[in-house]
Amino acid sequence: MDTSRWSSTIRRRGTALSLIALSGILAVNLAARAEATPTGPDVSSWQHIDGRLIDWFAVKRSGHAFAMVKATEGVSYINPYFVADSLLMRAAGVARGTYHYARPNLLPEPQAAMYAAVVLGQNGALDLPPVLDLETTGGLPPAALIDWTHRYLNTVQALTGRTPIVYTYPNFWKTAMADTNEFTRYPLWIADYRGNDAPEVPGGWSTWTFWQTTDSGGIDGIAGNTDLNVYSGAQGDFARFANM
């Protein structure tokens, strides 16, 4: 028997089997990573058609790890479904993000104080950081709107102890905020529905944290269409980021 030829054959077969095994492991890891990418809707009173409650257990069963819920707007509006959504999504094990819809024609500090009071600090178990939804100017020019935004975010951070998230969309930031890069220390939640592989990131941010990919998604447990979002991993482990 030619032992050198036999040994060479064994080595080739061993290498081939190792490559096949490695390919399988990589495929499994990539699939697991794709499946593990946290996703979730964002909702307001508009998703409570005819007063129906959201079935948060169905949302969770659909594979969604979090949801962003509108809490407040301006200095007087509180989402009438906010408490019910908060309680039910916690019971279902869905991480809760909450947002304040900015009205920059009104002072920022009272808005921040009302939001922080309604969400009870936004720093408990299953809580993502607080969110400022900034998509209207209130008639302010860029310099004044930039100052307003600083004041709101500083107040919310002081009241909650957490670094807030900024929600906006590219064109608004580039025009209404003059594409300022003064807010890059805050995580970015960007709305971009153009179907690209990644969203446009304005304002000097190096990356996005949440991406709102559509405003016409469908999720079991939610009546009608809803916005859909994905987490990038930019803030590290999602469970830690969401106080899970």
Q: Verify whether residue 133 is a known catalytic residue.
A: yes
Q: Verify whether residue 73 is a known catalytic residue.
A: no
The boundaries of the domain holding residue 230 are 39-242
pLDDT number for residue 175? 99
pLDDT number for residue 2? 53
Q: Verify whether residue 237 is a known catalytic residue.
A: no
11 is a domain residue: no
Among residues of the chain, what percentage have pLDDT more than 90?
Answer: 85
CATH code, domain with 95: 3.20.20.80
pLDDT number for residue 39? 98
Catalytic residue among 73, 85, 127, 133: 133
pLDDT number for residue 36? 72
Residue 29, pLDDT above cutoff 60: no
- Say which residue, 9 or 192, is predicted with more confidence: 192
29 is a domain residue: no
131 is a domain residue: yes
12 is a domain residue: no
Instruction: Decide: 97 and 227 in contact? Cβ < 8 Å.
Output: no
Angle between helices 142-160 and 108-118 (to 10 degrees): 30
Tokens, residue 131: 């969110």
Query: How many domains does the structure of the chain reveal?
Result: 1
Confidence of residue 33 (pLDDT cuts 50, 70, 90): very low
User: Rounded to two decimals, what is the model's pTM?
Assistant: 0.85
89 is a domain residue: yes
Mean predicted confidence (pLDDT) in 216-241? 97
Helix then strand then coil, in percent of the chain rounded to 5, is: 40, 20, 40
4 is a domain residue: no
227 is a domain residue: yes
Q: pLDDT of 142-153, one tens digit each? A: 999 999 999 999
- Say which residue, 210 or 23, is predicted with more confidence: 210
pLDDT number for residue 8? 53
CA 217 to chain CA centroid, nearest Å: 15
85 is a domain residue: yes
Distant-in-sequence, close-in-space partners of 92: CB < 8 Å, separation ≥ 6: 56, 57, 59, 60
Q: pLDDT of 75-108, one tens digit each? A: 999 999 999 999 999 999 999 999 999 999 999 9
SS3 101: strand
Give dist(CA 122, CA 32) in Å, integer: 30
